[in-house]
Structure 1
Amino acid sequence: MDWEGRILKTVGLVLLIAAAGVAGLMVIEGWSFVDALYMTVITISTVGFGEVHPLSEGGKLLVIILIIFGVGAYIYIISIVAEYLVAGALIGGIGRRKMKKQIEELDRHCIVCGYGRVGSEVAIELKNGGVEVVVIEKDPERLKLCAARGYLYVEGDASSDEVLVEAGVHRARGLVSAVDSDAANVYVTLSTKSLNKDIFVVARSERADSEKKLRAAGADRVISPSGIGGRRLASQLLKPAVLEFLDVVMHSADIEIFMEEVKVKQSSVFVGMTLVEAKKKCLEDANILAVLKVDGGNMDVELSADTRIEGGDMLIVIGTRAQLRSLEGLA
């Protein structure tokens, strides 16, 4: 419902009636502007203070017309206000301001652009991982789903700088661009990186030739849902037990085993150790599976026992929450 448009039309109608009344009284009765305006206002508002000056026949007819149209305009205004309140637009406005304040207080949150099939799943996983999420979406129906599921959201185009700033892009730790179009995801990535060059951007890609463009736009990672889905379907046939194990480790709430990534500080005891030496150091802690080395924005997975760990490397580890906390203390 376009409440703003309806309210503007109503205000315009009242002003038009008032202007016609003032002009008519000035022409027909020869009154001054102030007298004509005063008489028009008290007539339209049905206050009934009496006539400013005696009216001619033409003036009386004009006043009758003003009363009819004025009362009609007031009834229309009352109906709009009543509908506005009943529909919850006023409450929605208050809620929107409250949500805007909540978003402004967030820090290190994640932004999900697009709340379709992919974006909604991303939001669920982030929320389950204990991350605050802000959704950017312009479809009213999808926004209703967002609100029903308790997500903070911003209505608008995700490629708009103003919308991204409202979603807290300057304070966010990461952004997922899951809009339905590759071209739109390129624009979202460009806008995001222009506002915050340090934010980690994961972009959705439907076509293979779009990955290069998304990378050039600044995306740190590019994910193809169709590609991942195809590989997963094939893996279910080729390696079902492995896939089942990974699903249990990554997503099951029934067991206390988690796979996480831990960044190695320059002061860590692991710096200079080989992968096998680091594993021996962690006999009672989480198990180190691999080392990820960052090279020019790209990550290389190192599994060799002789791999030397350096500050800034990322360790892929598996263990219980307590074991992971213990290992994080060493890293």
Structure 2
Amino acid sequence: MNESFSPRRVGYAVAGVMVVVLGGMVGFHQTVREDWFQSFYRSVVTVSLAGLDTVPRSTGARIVSILLVLAGLTIFAYVATILVEGIAGGVLTGVLAERRRRRAIERLSGHIIICGYGRVGQRVAAEFRESGEEYVVLDFNPDALEAAREGGVLFVEGTGTEDEDLVEAGLNRARGLVASSDSDADNLYITLSARAARPDLLIVARASDEDAARKLRLAGADRVVQPYSTAGKEMAKLVLRPQVAAFLDIVSTHGGPELRFEEIEVGRTENAGESIRGLRIREVTGAMIVALRKHDGTFDTTPTPDAVLAAGDVIIAAGTPDELRRLEELFPPGEAVA
């Protein structure tokens, strides 16, 4: 809690007001000879700087009035100091920051929601950040929220198991969701809630074992990742097939930014229906098509130069950022494919 608004300082202000009001009540009772309630009323009016009820006739009462006015000014100055220090310390600005963060989230569209900002969630966020993807973090753990706050990440304090929190994170406008909580049960609830609200949403979930992975798929997850299983396979691959592992490391973002994989959808453009050879993709763009996902859902893992790129197909290509950009220019976004 900010020191400016500590209970001790607030207590000092309240105690000061009480002492001054009671002292003024006694002073007026002795000098003006009024009853206790009237003396209390006159003291409150004077200390609050609202003005004098009537001008005191005796010198003693006037002295008491002057002292009460000065005391009231001192107390108001003290309270004003607390408020100013609170603003400078971020107590009130924290409310403004919260409002700005919510407005920024409300403006997002086509973003990704990360439910769970632990080690896995933070690694996912780092990958999104490097790729320029917009995302929102949803978590309730104080350490996770502090990490998001320090990193300047848009976040919602809550849990993905509550529909209201998902809506606040922009579920209706999101294009994907990552359920990366440490709890399989939470990830299952998150997946069920998100799938019920958005049947078309891409959902990637984390699972600790195969049984949890099976249940997550039944709940509606499009992809399920088992970190421990994946890590074990990767370590074995490094030992059994080190050159293959080295190549995959090179073409990943971890190995270097100059060679990447990208997926590009073939829309209803003038180049749709042409073959790879006919478009001279390798010569024109420099990128290499390594696989094709046909519009019927099947994969062509070794496309030949005569393979036809039909509308609705998804090209899996490898190349540098410039080469992939030139490939995307051959298939600009057109009319959506059913």
Cα separation, 2, equivalents of 1:198 and 1:255:
31
The AA in structure 1 aligned to 2:153 is: Y
Cα separation, 1, equivalents of 2:42 and 2:317:
82
3-state DSSP of counterpart to 1:203: strand
3-state DSSP of counterpart to 1:262: strand
Cα separation, 1, equivalents of 2:50 and 2:80:
17
Q: 1:294 touches 1:313 (CA, 8 Å); kept in 2?
A: yes
1:175/1:80 CA distance change after superposition, 3 Å: farther
Cα separation, 1, equivalents of 2:81 and 2:183:
41
Displacement of 1:91 in angstroms is 1.6
TM-score normalized by the length of structure 1 = 0.72
Partner of 1:25: none
Cα separation, 2, equivalents of 1:91 and 1:178:
31
Cα separation, 1, equivalents of 2:42 and 2:194:
57
Q: CA RMSD in A?
A: 4.5
Partner of 2:252: 250
Q: 2:295 touches 2:313 (CA, 8 Å); kept in 1?
A: yes
Displacement of 1:313 in angstroms is 2.6
Displacement of 1:178 in angstroms is 0.3
Question: Who wins on radius of gyration, i.e. which is larger?
Answer: 2
1:111/1:231 CA distance change after superposition, 3 Å: same
Matched, 1:148 2:150: yes
Q: 1:182 touches 1:207 (CA, 8 Å); kept in 2?
A: no
Displacement of 1:311 in angstroms is 3.1
Q: 1:114 touches 1:179 (CA, 8 Å); kept in 2?
A: yes
Gaps of 5+ in 2: 19-34, 55-75, 332-338
3-state DSSP of counterpart to 1:170: helix
Q: 1:134 touches 1:151 (CA, 8 Å); kept in 2?
A: yes
Matched, 1:205 2:207: yes
1:122/1:294 CA distance change after superposition, 3 Å: farther
The AA in structure 1 aligned to 2:289 is: I
Map Cα deviations across residues 188-229 of structure 1 (whole Å, 9 max, x no partner).
Answer: 111112222222111111121112221222211111111111
Partner of 2:129: 127
Displacement of 1:310 in angstroms is 4.1
Cα separation, 2, equivalents of 1:44 and 1:230:
74
Matched, 1:282 2:281: yes
- What percent identity do the matched residue pairs reach? 38
Cα separation, 1, equivalents of 2:197 and 2:136:
17
3-state DSSP of counterpart to 1:135: strand
Give the aligned length.
301
Map Cα deviations across residues 110-156 of structure 1 (whole Å, 9 max, x no partner).
Answer: 11111101000000001100101210110112111111112111111
Gaps of 5+ in 1: 18-28, 52-73
Cα separation, 2, equivalents of 1:40 and 1:184:
60
Cα separation, 1, equivalents of 2:299 and 2:43:
80
Larger mean CA deviation between 318-327 and 232-241 belongs to 318-327
Q: 1:185 touches 1:204 (CA, 8 Å); kept in 2?
A: yes
Matched, 1:215 2:214: no
1:305/1:102 CA distance change after superposition, 3 Å: closer
